[in-house]
Amino acid sequence: MMTTLPRKARLEDIAKHAGVGLATVDRVLNERGGVSERTMARVLNSARELGTKRVLPTGNRRQLSIEAVFARNATAYSERLNQSLAAVNKLVDYPVTIYRTHFDANEPGRLVTHLHAAANRRDGIILFASDLPVIANAVRDLVDKIFMVTISTDIPDSGRHCYVGIDNVNAGRSAAKLSEAICRKGGRVLVVEPGTNARSNLDRISGFCRFFTERGIEDKLTLLPPPATLVEGVSNLLASLREQDDFRVLYGPANNELLETLIESGRQEESVRSMTKIVHDLSPYSIENLRSGLIDMVIDSNPMQQAFGAVDFIARQHGYETETTMANIDFQFYTSENLPRAEIIS
């Protein structure tokens, strides 16, 4: 009686054992790339267990090097984004190191110099910066050399490979829809203009104002530009609010010093306290204000989702894939009833 020798493991056997498709097995065994570290390890383990008689790849892959460049003034949101990029390594299953460099928003020249230097030593750049011509030109000069991703706030005319972030125009329109509903039986909306070149803030206020204009009720809006001096501006505004009692909503697309000072004045000023306050992006400060009733709603931008999306985009351009899934990046509404723990945001 002849003894049947075990057949060599076929690709179909390995695919079934590893729970993947034939194409994935082919990419792993022939080192074609485009497979996550976790999947590669599973395929190689199955091939070994099934006794594949061929030299198997080692499974070792090059460490990706990504630079995250921040060119904004220090804010609670920029710190959340910074922390998210620091933690994103725990979410992906491929080797990546993320270097984070910060520049003052008033020093775009230094940022441009750094971008050119980083392009010579990194696999991709994630940029969080205002939409300034000098920065847009620098990105345009580098897109043929390195993958460039703008995050949270876009620089649309720069030729960047990808923007990762929420739809800020629709975020502003959503705030406008709520404001219009509050004022439907009368009253006006006070809008604190951002006073920055950040595209995200400009898009939010554009979407907000356009919503009212499209309905022919732009007369319900009063736009408050940044004052020459904060103290004088707040003092004059509070005096006006005491005289005009028809403001129902206070909206700010950016959590700047003027907006925060106005909100804080609601502790003593009935004219401010009586308005519905709608702002953007969670922080320990805004969480506390939601709890106390100083503000009523926060429209958050989900920086952790953005960090994952930006890193994942660059990794995929280098042939890496990940099995980690995350929801589409979109804004989320928070009130005092559904806010997260403050330590998650700090």
pLDDT at 5: 38
Residues 54 and 175 grouped into a single domain:
no
The b/e string for 266-289 (b: 16+ C-beta within 10 A; e otherwise) is beebebbeebbbbbbbbbebbbeb
Length of the chain: 346
Residue 256 three-state SS? coil
pLDDT at 50: 85
User: Can you read off the two tokens belonging to residue 153?
Assistant: 């706030």
pLDDT at 1: 42
Residues 294 and 312 grouped into a single domain:
no
Residue 334 within any structural domain of the chain: no
CATH number at residue 149: 3.40.50.2300
Per-residue DSSP letters for 16-33?
HHHT--HHHHHHHHTT--
Residue 195, classified by CB atoms within 10 Å of its CB into exposed (0-12), middle (13-18) or buried (19+), is middle
Residue 280 · residue 264 · CB < 8 Å: no
Q: For residue 163, what is the enclosing H or E element?
A: strand 162-164
CATH number at residue 47: 1.10.260.40
Q: Give 247's Cβ-side CA count (13 Å radius).
A: 26
User: Can you read off the two tokens belonging to residue 342?
Assistant: 């403050």
Number of structural domains (the chain) is: 3
pLDDT at 4: 42
Residue 335 within any structural domain of the chain: no
Residue 206 within any structural domain of the chain: yes
pLDDT at 33: 62
Residues 2 and 91 grouped into a single domain:
no
Residues 79 and 202 grouped into a single domain:
no
Global pTM exceeds 0.85: no
Residues 313 and 294 grouped into a single domain:
no
Residue 332 within any structural domain of the chain: no
Residues 294 and 180 grouped into a single domain:
yes
Considering only CA atoms, which of 218, 66, 10, 227 is closest in space to residue 18?
10
Each of the 346 residues of the chain gets a pLDDT tens digit; together they read: 444 434 456 888 899 999 998 888 887 887 666 666 678 888 888 888 888 877 777 656 678 899 999 987 778 899 999 999 999 987 887 789 999 999 998 899 999 999 999 999 999 999 999 999 999 999 999 999 999 999 999 999 999 999 999 999 999 999 999 999 999 999 999 999 987 779 999 999 999 999 999 999 999 999 988 888 888 888 888 888 888 889 999 999 998 888 889 999 999 999 999 999 999 999 888 999 999 999 999 999 999 999 999 999 999 888 776 666 555 789 999 999 998 875 556 5
Residue 321 within any structural domain of the chain: yes
pLDDT at 307: 95
Q: Which amino acid is at 180?
A: E
Q: Is 118 left (phi over 0), alpha (psi -120 to 50) or beta?
A: alpha
Residues 57 and 73 grouped into a single domain:
no
Residues 48 and 75 grouped into a single domain:
no
Torsion of CA 341, 191, 157, 144, to 10 degrees: -20
Pairing of strands 96-102, 147-151: unpaired
Residues 317 and 280 grouped into a single domain:
no
Q: For residue 127, what is the enclosing H or E element?
A: strand 124-129
Residues 178 and 279 grouped into a single domain:
yes
The CA-CA-CA angle for residues 34, 37, 43, to 5°, reads 85
Residue 344 within any structural domain of the chain: no
Residue 346 within any structural domain of the chain: no
Give Cα 160 distance to the centre of its chain: 16
Residues 264 and 188 grouped into a single domain:
yes
Residues 18 and 127 grouped into a single domain:
no
Q: Which amino acid is at 32?
A: R
Range of the domain at 174: 168-300
Residue 240 within any structural domain of the chain: yes
Considering only CA atoms, which of 245, 242, 243, 237 is closest in space to residue 188?
245
